[in-house]
Structure 1
Amino acid sequence: SRSASTSSSSTSASSATSGSTGAPSRLIDWMEARGAYLLPGDHALRLDLVCKVNGLEAAEEYFLSLPDMHKSVKTYSSLLNCYAEHKPEKGLELYEKMRTMNIVPNTLVYKNLMSLYLKAGQPEKVLKTFEEMRGNGIQTDNFTYCILTESHIMVNGLESTKKFLEDLEKSIPVHWSLYTVLANNYNKVGQFDKAELALKKAEEVMDKGEMFAWHNLLSLYASSGNLSEVKRLWVSLSRSSRSGNSLNRALT
């Protein structure tokens, strides 16, 4: 019967979350055990944790166990993110269902959708989704621009994407990571001189206090065999931060 099915689904979902070891999940379990009313955002967080700890199937069971009132854009978006990581084709099916239900996409939904299209080998749809996102007044961020840049390369090629970033600079500050996406793709096709120019641009605009940016540039220079730039960057890094000094001493 339907009630038996719902009960079974709820039990499975409860079992899935009970195995979670993350502090956020334990906090949500504690809140629920004491009768706290969980908001859709709480369920979305739990769904994400279930997926990370217990896998996609457990996350699907948890989603199905939720009352309809808690199946909001937040919980749908969380499930969409799970599919983006594990089964892009099912994620695209879910998005079509969301459209038929007139669920209005938010920034996270669009980001997950763009990831789904990229992983499904449909970069041209990433470009269309980005334009739809902007047309609907949804705020974009660096993550969406990174996916857009990767997709632009796949659809239009490296030189066109380089021009795209140059044009983008005229309207907004371009994050350093977009130039590293370009550089990485230049490296893949052996155009190391152009990769170096892109990395120099990334270095120019990056926050010098952001260690991840330094490490990203070092990795890309090393992968292209550009040892002179690796050494130069080490010197700059050691001058910029104490951790850079420690790391430099440890590796020299």
Structure 2
Amino acid sequence: AHTRIGAAARAHGVENSIISVLTMHHWETLNHMAYKFGKLDKVHGKLALKILGSIVQQSGLERITHVYCLAAHILIQAQMHSQAMSVLKHLAMAGFSCSAIFSSLLRTISRCDSNPMVFDLLINAYLKERKVVDASKAILLMDNCGFKASTHTCNAVLNALVEVGESKHVWFFLKESLARKFPLDVTTCNIVLNYFCLDGNLGKANLMLQKMKSRSISNVVTYNTILYWYVKKGRFKAAMRVLEDMEKNGVEADVYTYNIMIDKLCKMKRSTRAYLLLKKMRGNNLSPDECTYNTLIKGFFDEGKMKLAIYIFNEMLKQSLKPSLATYTTLIDGYCRSGVTGEALRVLYEMQVAGVKPSELTYSAMLNGYCKASMPGHALNLIEDMKARGTAINRTMYTILIDGFCQLGVVSKAKQILKSMLVVGINPDVVTYSALINGMCKMGKLDETKEILSRMQKTGVLPNEVLYTTLVCYCCKAGYVGEALKYFVDIYRRGLAANSFIHNTLLCALYREGMVTQAEQFKQYMSRMKISFDVASFNCIIDFYCTRGNLQCITSGDLQRRNSR
């Protein structure tokens, strides 16, 4: 206790002397004061902060960076790391360059008998203030001077560069880190690898993989990451090379690795080859999981190979894997799309007996199956059964029903379902309205669509490109070209862009209705906008002039383009 009181008294005496000098503006006196370094504690740290406060209040100071750096060193010696960090954060935000701050810290480190922790604190200060490029510069400056940043600091900087999306700085710092043998861990490298993949730069991602392999820091996650992105981008051959590379380098593929490949093969309609991968998994003593089997079941159903899908399901049961909600939903959806609604209903009962509660997706698949099979009565019965079980009917289910009745031409029932939707407080979206309007257009009820469109827009639901395509197409078919043109203008007024199908449909309709001037102007507009003419448009143009005997109006370009198609 006496030691601490003595230290406080000495510190207080030094404080009075220095403050007196500062008050009298006798700066040169500080250079002649006798300094004696000893062990510093919090009393000295607080004194340093007080003196720093007095100094920065003076105007026209030079070498202010130098003063702040001295204070930071003293605070570190006094074990006041958070205060030292605050001082460095102030410097980092004051507009001084990273190299200027680093140089000042370097010049003052020996005077204060400080330690390299100050550089780690500076880097953390930059990271806290989101000045991550400066943080990366500071690490490289440290290394240039023979100081090594901690593993945590190196990985923190690389992660921060990835987070802020500084692509060119990420790559530069990564190359420097690997060249200088910074202690990067595999988790950070995998994050960087995924970042390059997300950025669409698979070339750099592959280079990263090679560098990680040369440093022996790649693992199964590394390979799975680049494998996933190769598959996602449709580069299946490259993905297969990664799989082979794993085997060569003794990295054991896991279930996730195979699932990535199986999923892609099934989406490519190559489910049989995907099944061979499943067999390879077993040969490598890997047990396929529920996700593996679900993917294959869906894949075979998508290819219309229902018997093989059932075979995979039975194989799954033999492996003592219990079907999940996802499995049952995949089966029901597959049966429904294959037109076997009876089997789908059997699976629905079977899952309920097994204690698996159907989800909204399950019921939606069943409803869709009934509607596609022209079994609206069964669809309505299922809705009543759901209500009895306390299952909520959502917007998707109502939309499926509306579309189902519209496909059967029972538009009046579809409109009733829309009303019942509104009564229970479910707001239709653009997909719901599109289904109804499409059905009305098919039945030639174009005049009634205006009422639906008006109601729809009053509730804040705006038409999308699909709905506008439907409206333009049916208006043109019915000879209402003026109405179709209004919808065309409306598309651009709402900030959307009309697709080439809309343009070509309108062009054909203009020629068909004998609106030659407008047709020629629209044709020129399409050429200026570089919108491709389809075969139907060429036929309309050529047939129109041929029937009128105006063959000279057909350009050689028209004929060449028609023949090339």
- Higher RCO by CA contacts (8 Å cutoff, separation 6 or greater): 1
Between 76-85 and 215-224, the greater mean CA deviation after superposition: 215-224
1:76-225 aligned at under 5 Å gives the runs: 76-88=328-340, 89-138=342-391, 140-151=393-404, 157-170=410-423, 171-202=425-456, 205-207=460-462, 210-225=464-479
Q: Which residue of 1 aligns with 2:267?
A: 22
- On the 8 A contact 2:437/2:449 being kept in 1, the answer is yes
Q: For the residues of structure 1 that align with 2:416 and 2:400, how far apart are their CA atoms?
A: 17
- On the 8 A contact 2:332/2:348 being kept in 1, the answer is yes
**Aligned pair 1:59/2:309, yes or no?**
yes
TM-superposed CA distance for 1:156, in Å, is: 11
**Aligned pair 1:230/2:475, yes or no?**
no
Q: For the residues of structure 2 that align with 1:56 and 1:174, how far apart are their CA atoms?
A: 35
TM-superposed CA distance for 1:79, in Å, is: 1.5
- On the 8 A contact 2:370/2:379 being kept in 1, the answer is yes
Change (3 A) 1:143 1:41: farther
- The one-letter code of the counterpart of 1:182 is L
TM-superposed CA distance for 1:159, in Å, is: 3.5
Please state which structure has a larger fraction of its residues in helix: 1
Once the two structures are superposed, residues 206-252 of structure 1 have per-residue CA deviations (whole angstroms, 9 ceiling, x without a partner) of 345x4334334434444544323321121121233464388754279
**Aligned pair 1:40/2:290, yes or no?**
yes
Once the two structures are superposed, residues 93-136 of structure 1 have per-residue CA deviations (whole angstroms, 9 ceiling, x without a partner) of 43344445454211121111112222333212212322433454
Alignment TM-score, normalising by the size of structure 1: 0.70
Q: For the residues of structure 2 that align with 1:70 and 1:199, how far apart are their CA atoms?
A: 48
Match of 1:109, SS state, is: helix
Q: For the residues of structure 2 that align with 1:118 and 1:245, how far apart are their CA atoms?
A: 30
Please say which structure displays the higher CA radius of gyration. 2
Residue ranges of structure 2 left out of the alignment (5+ in a row): 1-261, 504-525, 534-565
Q: For the residues of structure 1 that align with 2:475 and 2:457, how far apart are their CA atoms?
A: 12
**Aligned pair 1:74/2:329, yes or no?**
no
Match of 1:172, SS state, is: coil
Percent of pairs identical after alignment? 18
- On the 8 A contact 1:77/1:109 being kept in 2, the answer is yes
- The one-letter code of the counterpart of 1:60 is I
Change (3 A) 1:215 1:157: closer
Match of 1:133, SS state, is: helix
TM-superposed CA distance for 1:199, in Å, is: 4.2
- Given candidates 494, 497, 503, the residue that maps to 1:240 is 494
Q: For the residues of structure 1 that align with 2:401 and 2:263, how far apart are their CA atoms?
A: 38
Between 163-172 and 121-130, the greater mean CA deviation after superposition: 163-172
Aligned residues: 234
Alignment TM-score, normalising by the size of structure 2: 0.35
TM-superposed CA distance for 1:22, in Å, is: 3.3
- The one-letter code of the counterpart of 2:421 is L
Change (3 A) 1:152 1:86: closer
- On the 8 A contact 1:40/1:74 being kept in 2, the answer is no
- The one-letter code of the counterpart of 1:56 is M
Between 241-250 and 89-98, the greater mean CA deviation after superposition: 241-250
Between 113-122 and 75-84, the greater mean CA deviation after superposition: 113-122
Residue ranges of structure 1 left out of the alignment (5+ in a row): 1-16
Between 174-183 and 19-28, the greater mean CA deviation after superposition: 19-28
- On the 8 A contact 2:371/2:404 being kept in 1, the answer is yes
- On the 8 A contact 2:372/2:404 being kept in 1, the answer is no
- On the 8 A contact 2:465/2:496 being kept in 1, the answer is no
Q: For the residues of structure 2 that align with 1:126 and 1:95, how far apart are their CA atoms?
A: 14
Once the two structures are superposed, residues 141-177 of structure 1 have per-residue CA deviations (whole angstroms, 9 ceiling, x without a partner) of 4431122224566999534542442353351221123
Change (3 A) 1:243 1:37: farther
- On the 8 A contact 1:221/1:229 being kept in 2, the answer is yes
Between 150-159 and 221-230, the greater mean CA deviation after superposition: 150-159
- On the 8 A contact 2:290/2:323 being kept in 1, the answer is yes
- The one-letter code of the counterpart of 2:398 is Y
- The one-letter code of the counterpart of 1:146 is T
- On the 8 A contact 1:50/1:58 being kept in 2, the answer is yes
Match of 1:105, SS state, is: coil
Between 80-89 and 158-167, the greater mean CA deviation after superposition: 158-167
- On the 8 A contact 2:301/2:309 being kept in 1, the answer is yes
- On the 8 A contact 1:130/1:148 being kept in 2, the answer is no
TM-superposed CA distance for 1:194, in Å, is: 1.6
